[in-house]
Structure 1
Amino acid sequence: MGIEIEDKFDVPPDYAIPDLSRVAEVIGPKSFQLVALYYDTADLRLAARGVTLRRRRGGDDAGWHLKLPKAKGVRQEITRPLTRSTKIVPEELAELVRAYTRGAPLVPVAELDTRRSVTVLLDDGVKLVEVADDRVKGTVFGAEPTVVRWREVEAELLAPDRQAVLAKVGKRLRKAGATPSAATSKLAKLLEPTPLPKAPTEPGTAGEIVVAYLAGQVNALLAQDPRVRRAEDDAVHQMRVAARRMRSALKAFKSVVADTAQVQDELRWLGNVLGEARDLEVIRARFAKELARLEPELVHGPIQARLGKDLHEREQEAYGRIKETLSGERYYILLNALDQLVSHPKLAKAAAKPAQEKLSTIAAAGWNRVTKAYETAQAIEDPERREIAMHDVRKAAKRARYTAEALQPTLGANMGKLAKLSENVQEILGTHQDGVVAQETLAKEAESARQAGEDTFTYGVLIGIERSAAERAYAEFPRVWAETVGAVMKVL
C-alpha cells in the first residue's frame, strides 16, 4: 500500500518530452507494454467516485491495483500479486470497494493497452520523479466495443519530501505544450462516467453551504470505509466523527434541509456500532498508561493481562461486528440515503435565504441550546440527577462546536473561536464523563477478578485515580464555564 502523488497532462500526438536534465539527473527512457483490465459495476459506480480497480500485465508492477481517492492529485494505492483469473476480483480488494458497489457485482468494463516510455529523475542515486509518456489504446466493452486512442504524460513523485522537483518537472512539461488533464485517470477519460448529481441550490444561499458541508462529510465517511475494513490506525474514530458531524448538522440545520429524522437514526446506529470498538481501544490505552505510571509494588495480580488482553479481545470482537455491519444491507441502504440527501435534498424555506443571514442565527441558536441545558442542570437539586443532566450540556456543546466548525469557512474567524470555546466545555465535561465510565469498567473487571480468586488491590488504586480525575474536572467546570460564557458574548 502506498500514497500516489502525480500530475497528469494531455499532449498532442507529436509532443516531444522536453530536456529534464536541468532539473535532475535523467535515466532513460525505457519502453514497455502494459495491458490493464478494469473492473467496475455495470453502472460504473467506482469510476463515478474516482476509484480504479485493475488487473495489469507488463512493466515492473504487474498485479492487481486498487486506487482510492484521498485528495486532489493524491490517491491511496493498494496492490496484490497477479492472479490467473481475469473474471474473479481478489476478495480482499472486492471488500474494500463495497461502500461504492453496495452489493452490485464487479465485472470487466474496459481494457487499456499502453505503450509506455519511462524517464526517471534522480539525485545522488535516489529516485525523485518518474515521467511516463503513454500512447494509449482504450477499449470500452459492451454489445459493440468502442476503441479510443490518445497520448498523455504522467509525472509521479517517488520521493515524498521532494515535491519541489515534481513542480519543476510539471512547469517544463507545460512550457513544452502539455496541458493539465481534467481526467483523474485514464479510465475516467475513457469511460467518461456520469458525474454525481448535485443539489439544485442557489449560489450564496444557506442551502448551498449546508448541502456542500453534508456532501463533504459523506465523502469523508466513504473515504474511511476501506481504512476501517483494513483496521488502519484512527480509521474507526474518523469514520465515527464523520457520522456524528452529519447527524449533528442535520439537527442544527433542520430549518434548511428537512425530513431527515430517519437518516439521523441510521447515523446514530452506525455511530454506535463504530463506537464500541473505539471506546474499548481508548480505555485500554488509558489503563495501560495508568498502570505504567504506578510503582511496581502497587501492581498486584494479573491485572495487566485482564485490562490488556481481555479488553483487546473484546475490541477485536467489536471490530468483527463492524466488518459485518459494513457488508450488510442496512449499511448500503444508509449510504444510498446519504447520496440521495446530498443530491436531492428536501430543502426548506430557509434554504433560499442568504447564507450570512440565516446561518449566523443558527450558530447563535446552537450556543443558546448549551446555556439552556446548563440552566436546566443547575436547577436540579439532587446531585446525582444534576450530574446526569450535565451530560446533556456536553452533548449540546459538541453540537454547537460541530455547527460552528461547519460554518467557519462562510462566517469567518468568529465561528472558529466559537468552535474552540464550545470544545472547551465539551472537553472538561468529557474528562469527567470518561472518569466515571472508567470507574464503572474497572469495577466490573475487579468483580471478574475477584470471582477468579485474583488480588483486586490495584483495581482499587486505579478507581481512586479515576475518581480523583473526574472530581477535579467537575470542580473546575464552574470556572471554565464562567470564562467561556464571557468569551462567547464577544463572539456572537
Structure 2
Amino acid sequence: MRTVLERERKYESPADFRLPDLVGDGVAAVDEPTVTTLDATYYDTPELRLVRAALALRRRTGGADAGWHLKVGAAGGARTEHQRALTSGTTPPRDLMQLVKAAARGAPVEPVARIETRRREWRLLGGDGAVLATLADDTVVGHDLVEGRRIAWHEVEVELVDGDEKLLDGVEQRLRAAGASAGSPAKIRRVLDERLRELTEIDAGPATPVLAYAAATRDDLVAHDPAARDGDVDGVHDMRVAVRRLRSTFRTFRKLWDRERVDAVRAELKWLGEQLGGVRDAQVMGPRLAKAVRRAPDELVLGPVAADLAQHFAAEEAAALTRLRRALSSRRYVELLSMLDQLVEVTPAVDVRRRWVDRRIHRAVRRADGLLDTALERQAEKGASDDDPALHEARKAYKRGRYAVEVRKLAGDKRAKRLVRGLKGLQDLLGDHQDSVITRQVLKDQGVRAYGRRANTFTYGMLYAEQVAHGRALVRDLPAAQRAARRRKLRKWLG
C-alpha cells in the first residue's frame, strides 16, 4: 500500500469556464494539456458511514494512478490518500478495509456511487522545469447507484507537487478572476448529498443542537481513526479531543439519555481516551523537553541528556502506539461506536425546553468560574503551591464549559462563537500551566533514573527549576486572562 499526502484546492466553475493565463506568481510555464477519462466506483455502507466520517473508498480506472484509493479528510485541503494497485475483482483490498473497519462498524461495504470524469490537466512549471502543481479542469457526471439519481457539474482542482501555499494563493486569484468560486465539496459528497441530508437529519426539538453536536463529534472521531492508527501527531490529538468533547457532552446534558446507558458510553470513551493519551503524552513531552535542552547553554547540559530523553520517549511512544492500534482493531472499539450511534441518532425520550439546554451551558461555565475563583483565592490568601490540583480541576471544568458553549456555536450563534474564543484563551493558559506541572514530574523521574545509573543529574534539576518558574509566571497571568474571558459582551446571552 502506498500512502501520499494530497494538498489541493477545489473550485466551482461554470460549464463555459475558460482557463486564464497562469504564468506569474512563481509559475514560469504551463504545459500542453492531457485529456483523461476517469471512471470511479465508490463503496460505503447503506448508512453512508464512510462518507459521513470524511472517508472515500473507491476503485478507479483511467489516469496515472488507477487503482484502489482511500481518501482521508475533507476536500479542499491536505488529505491523506492510501493507494493500492488496480485489481480485476471488485472486492476492496483487505488492508484498506481494515482502515475503514471502525467507520463501517464492522459491516461490509457495497457500491453506492459511480463518478465519470473527463479531465483536462495542465502541469504548472517553475523556472527550472520542476512541476510545481497540476491543474485539472473536470467535467463530471455522478450516479447514485442506490436511488438512481444523476447529477452533472464542472469543477477545477489545483494540486501541489513541488510548490507551496503561496503558489496556490496566486493561482486562486487568477481562477476567481476568471469566474471560478472556491469551496467545491468532494465529488462523492455532491453525488450523495440528498441521501446524506436524509440520513443525518436530526429532529429532537430543543435538544436538536445537543444531538447534532454529539453526532458531528462522533463523525470527527471516526474521521481521525486512520491517521491515529499511523501515529500521526495531529490525528492522535484530534481524535483525543473528539473523545473529550463527547464525554463532556454526555456529562453536561446527561439527563437527555438513560443514565445507565450514557454512563456506560462515558466509561468506554474514557478507556479510548486513555489509549490515545499514552501516545499523545509521549508525542508532546518528548519535543517539549528536547526544546528545553536545546535552549539551555551548552556548559549547563552535563551528560547525554538529550539522547536519554529522546530514547525514553521514543520507547514510550512505540509501546503506547502498539496498545492504541490493538484497541482500535478490537471488537470493543467497534461496539463503542455502535453505542454512540444509538445515543446520538435516536431521539431521546426526555422532552426538554430550549431554556433547559441553555441552563446546562450556563451551569457548566459558571462552575468553571467558581473553581478558578477558589483556586486563585487560595493562591492569594494561603500562598498555595502553583501546582495546586485545584488549578487542574478548574482547567478541566473550563474545557467542559467551552464544549457546552460549542453546542450553540455549531447551531450558528455568533455570541457563542465569541465566548468560545474567550474561554479557549483561558483554557490554553491553564493547559500550559498543567503541562509545566507534568513536565516537572517527568524531569524528576528521569533525574532519579539517571541517578540510579550514577549519571550527572544537574541538568534535570536545572530544567525542573525552569518549569517551576514558568508555572508561577502563568499563575500570575491568570487573573488578567480570567477578566478577559468574563467580558460582559461575551457572557450576556447566558443570563
What's the TM-score, normalizing by structure 2?
0.77
Contact 1:266 1:334 in 2 (8 A): yes
Question: Does residue 371 of structure 2 align to residue 373 of structure 1?
Answer: yes
Percent of pairs with identical residues:
29
Give secondary structure in 1 for the equivalent of 2:16: coil
Question: Does residue 188 of structure 2 align to residue 185 of structure 1?
Answer: yes
Give the CA deviation at 1:38.
Answer: 4.5
Please give the alpha-carbon distance, in whole angstroms, between the structure 2 residues aligned to 1:490 and 1:112: 48
Which is further off, 404-413 or 394-403?
404-413
Question: Does residue 136 of structure 2 align to residue 130 of structure 1?
Answer: yes
Contact 1:51 1:67 in 2 (8 A): yes
Instruction: Give the letter aligned to residue 464 of structure 2.
Output: I
Please give the alpha-carbon distance, in whole angstroms, between the structure 2 residues aligned to 1:169 and 1:209: 39
Q: Which runs of 5+ in 1 are unaligned?
A: 12-16, 173-179
Contact 1:273 1:321 in 2 (8 A): yes
Q: Deviation string for 1:28-74 (max 9, x for gaps)? A: 77555545454445776435656432233332222222233515x66
| Equivalent residue for 1:310, pick from 309, 312, 321 | 312
Contact 1:48 1:196 in 2 (8 A): no
Question: Does residue 64 of structure 2 align to residue 63 of structure 1?
Answer: no
Please give the alpha-carbon distance, in whole angstroms, between the structure 2 residues aligned to 1:408 and 1:140: 36
Q: How does 1:36-435 map to 2 (within 5 A)?
A: 36=40, 38-41=42-45, 45-46=49-50, 51-70=55-74, 76=79, 78-84=81-87, 86=89, 89-106=92-109, 109=111, 114=116, 116=118, 118=120, 120=122, 129-133=135-139, 153-158=154-159, 160-161=168-169, 162-167=171-176, 184-185=187-188, 188=191, 195-202=198-205, 205=206, 207-256=207-256, 259=259, 260-350=262-352, 353-354=353-354, 357-374=355-372, 387-408=388-409, 412=413, 414-416=415-417, 418-435=419-436
Please give the alpha-carbon distance, in whole angstroms, between the structure 2 residues aligned to 1:297 and 1:388: 35
Corresponding residue number in structure 1 for 2:164? none
Q: Deviation string for 1:190-213 (max 9, x for gaps)? A: 9968942433323xx3x1222222
Please give the alpha-carbon distance, in whole angstroms, between the structure 2 residues aligned to 1:486 and 1:20: 52
Give secondary structure in 2 for the equivalent of 1:349: coil
Contact 2:447 2:460 in 1 (8 A): yes
Give secondary structure in 2 for the equivalent of 1:99: coil
Instruction: Give the letter aligned to residue 18 of structure 1.
Output: D
Contact 1:257 1:346 in 2 (8 A): yes
Contact 1:129 1:166 in 2 (8 A): no
Corresponding residue number in structure 1 for 2:26? none
Question: Does residue 18 of structure 2 align to residue 20 of structure 1?
Answer: yes
Instruction: Give the letter aligned to residue 220 of structure 1.
Output: D
Corresponding residue number in structure 2 for 1:451? 452
Q: Deviation string for 1:433-492 (max 9, x for gaps)? A: 322222221121122222222221211111222222233434554x44874686469834
Please give the alpha-carbon distance, in whole angstroms, between the structure 1 residues aligned to 2:267 and 2:189: 40
Please give the alpha-carbon distance, in whole angstroms, between the structure 2 residues aligned to 1:456 and 1:313: 21
Please give the alpha-carbon distance, in whole angstroms, between the structure 2 residues aligned to 1:455 and 1:181: 59
Give secondary structure in 1 for the equivalent of 2:399: helix
Give the CA deviation at 1:224.
Answer: 1.5
Contact 1:24 1:123 in 2 (8 A): no
Give the CA deviation at 1:287.
Answer: 0.9
Corresponding residue number in structure 1 for 2:464? 463
Contact 2:69 2:83 in 1 (8 A): yes
Please give the alpha-carbon distance, in whole angstroms, between the structure 2 residues aligned to 1:361 and 1:190: 35
Corresponding residue number in structure 2 for 1:14? none
Alignment CA distance shift 1:169-1:134 (3 Å): farther
Please give the alpha-carbon distance, in whole angstroms, between the structure 2 residues aligned to 1:400 and 1:419: 9
Please give the alpha-carbon distance, in whole angstroms, between the structure 1 residues aligned to 2:151 and 2:371: 63
Alignment CA distance shift 1:255-1:489 (3 Å): farther
Contact 2:285 2:439 in 1 (8 A): yes
Alignment CA distance shift 1:456-1:35 (3 Å): same
Instruction: Give the letter aligned to residue 231 of structure 1.
Output: G
Q: Which runs of 5+ in 2 are unaligned?
A: 24-29, 161-167
Instruction: Give the letter aligned to residue 452 of structure 1.
Output: R
Instruction: Give the letter aligned to residue 107 of structure 2.
Output: A
Give the CA deviation at 1:252.
Answer: 2.0
Q: Deviation string for 1:102-157 (max 9, x for gaps)? A: 323456x3795958363649799976632234578x7969xxxx999886544323
Contact 2:257 2:350 in 1 (8 A): yes
Please give the alpha-carbon distance, in whole angstroms, between the structure 2 residues aligned to 1:467 and 1:303: 19
Please give the alpha-carbon distance, in whole angstroms, between the structure 1 residues aligned to 2:372 and 2:155: 57
Please give the alpha-carbon distance, in whole angstroms, between the structure 2 residues aligned to 1:293 and 1:237: 26
Give the CA deviation at 1:421.
Answer: 4.7
Contact 1:129 1:165 in 2 (8 A): no
Please give the alpha-carbon distance, in whole angstroms, between the structure 1 residues aligned to 2:437 and 2:484: 24
Give the CA deviation at 1:2.
Answer: 0.7
Give secondary structure in 1 for the equivalent of 2:70: strand
